[in-house]
Amino acid sequence: MNVIAIQMVDATNHSHSELGLTLFNLAHRYGLSQLIDEPTRYTDSNATLLDLIFTDNERCVSDFGVSPPLLNLDHCIIFCKLSLKVSKSRAFQRRVWDYKSADFNSLNTALLNAPFDSAYEIFDDVNDIASYTSDLITSACSEFIPNKIVTIRHRDKPWMSNEVRRAICKRDRCFKKYQRTQRDEDKLYHIVARREVNRLKRDAKQRYEINIIRSFSRENLNPRKFWSLSKSVLGYNSDRTIPPLKDNMNLISDDLEKAELLNCYFSAQMHLGQHENDLPALPPLSFLTVERLQEIVAVEEDVLKYLRQSNPHKSCGPDGISNHILKYCAHSLYKPLTKLFNFSLHSGVYPSLWKVSNVCPVYKK
């Protein structure tokens, strides 16, 4: 960035210059620091500071300075060395369910015959009963709903497949072998492998485009799916990863560290104290009726109604039980779930399994 006649070290000397203190005030407003503190252009009559380096985090800059000019130029070279830790997005595995090919009739029959009541004979803790119930549901679903474990890689193209990925690995191995041996035979192997990768990529892209066209041609295409496909085709899918966070002038890039930082911040917003005396005093209550609610009981009819109203398009939680299962297996699940709800209400303990959720913080301006 070139700025004429601006000396950031002594900004008061230029209050009457062409730009005045505009740049200085702008940097101060956004918390920017200017690092270069020596002239960068020398002439026969004067030396001026024209080239600047701004940063909002000086700890990320390990070294900076001004180097001599090249050849006979009058401009010096400025440089800075950044000390950044770039975190690579990690691949993770996820179980994917094919609900369109599920046998819900057999699944409902299996859930009706599942030994949910055995949990109350074996366990006394509501956490163990909730985990046992969840395991029974998941086990029955895995038997009657086609599923597989896939590896999610954020940087993969939407048309990427395992076949293409294996061909790329083979191409890279052939190239490394040719670099090591420099034999014409190994070079030929590398050329053949490279052509195979290009062919597989071309076929995968073509299949992906055909599937997109078929999806748009469906008569029952809902608006939600339409806009999802449109964003995918037009490249409007935004990166949902959380950018690096600043903690006391330190940039946090690791996913686990970012999650811990956000968790500590949100939990620090509310503090009730460790003892009874630390709790705030409640105002006196004036009852409007003589009737009292002694206990809360979950009714089977209500549980069945809300299970049938579950939105199957909502994502599931960490337990892997989606709203598809709750909605289409409501008739076989409402009784064991009602019993579990009432046991939790009677014991006054909320299952720890239900306290875990996937949270995505959304930045707001």
- Whether 322 maps to a domain, the answer reads no
Phi/psi at 221 (5° precision): -70, 120
Give the DSSP per-residue string, 323-347: HHHHHHTHHHHHHHHHHHHHHHHHH
Tokens of 15: 């209050």
For residue 227, give the H/E element and its range: helix 223-234
Residue 220 within any structural domain of the chain: yes
The residue-averaged pLDDT of 95-101 equals 91
pLDDT score, position 273: 63
Q: What is the pLDDT of residue 365?
A: 60
User: What is the pLDDT at residue 232?
Assistant: 72
Per-residue pLDDT tens over the stretch 244-265? 777 877 778 777 888 888 888 8
Considering the domain boundaries, does residue 194 fall inside one?
yes
Average pLDDT estimate for 318-327: 91
**Three-class DSSP category at 41:** strand
Query: What is the three-state SS of 237-267?
Result: CCCCCCCCEEECCEEECCHHHHHHHHHHHHH
Residues of the domain holding 68 = 8-82
Would you say residue 162 lies in a domain?
yes
Compute the average pLDDT of residues 168-189: 94
Residue 285 buriedness (CB in 10 A; 0-12 / 13-18 / 19+): exposed
Mean pLDDT across the chain: 84
130 belongs to a structural domain: no
Number of domains in the chain: 2
Q: In 3-state terms, what secondary structure has residue 77?
A: strand
Give the residue from 82, 109, 129 where a domain finishes: 82
- Distances 135 to 55, 115, 317 between C-alpha atoms, Å: 52, 11, 14
**59 within some domain:** yes
Question: Does the residue 193 lie in any domain?
Answer: yes
Which of 203-212, 235-244, 254-263, 304-313 shows the lowest per-residue confidence on average (mean pLDDT)? 235-244
Task: List, for residues 279-290, the tens digit of each pLDDT value.
Answer: 777 788 888 888
How much is the pLDDT for 4? Answer: 38
Q: Which residues contact 351 (CB under 8 A, 6 or more apart)?
A: 126, 127, 129, 130, 131, 344
Quote the CA–CA distance of 78 and 65 in Å, as a whole number.
Answer: 6
Q: Which among 179, 201, 234 is the end of a domain?
A: 234
Q: Which of 278-282, 303-307, 332-336 has the lowest mean pLDDT?
A: 278-282
Q: Is 333 exposed, middle or buried (0-12, 13-18, 19+ CB in 10 A)?
A: buried
How much is the pLDDT for 276? 61
Domain boundary among 82, 99, 123: 82
- Specify if 12 maps to a domain: yes
Residue 110: per-residue pLDDT:
95
Higher pLDDT residue, 5 or 183? Answer: 183
- Model confidence band, residue 18 (pLDDT cutoffs 50, 70, 90): low
Q: Give the predicted TM-score (pTM) of the model.
A: 0.64
pLDDT per residue as tens digits for the range 100-131: 999 999 999 999 999 999 999 999 999 999 99
Helices (H), 79-217: 104-112, 118-122, 126-144, 162-181, 184-217
Q: Residue 265: its pLDDT value, please?
A: 85
Confidence class of residue 86 from pLDDT cuts 50, 70 and 90? low
User: Could you tell me the two tokens for 108?
Assistant: 């409902």
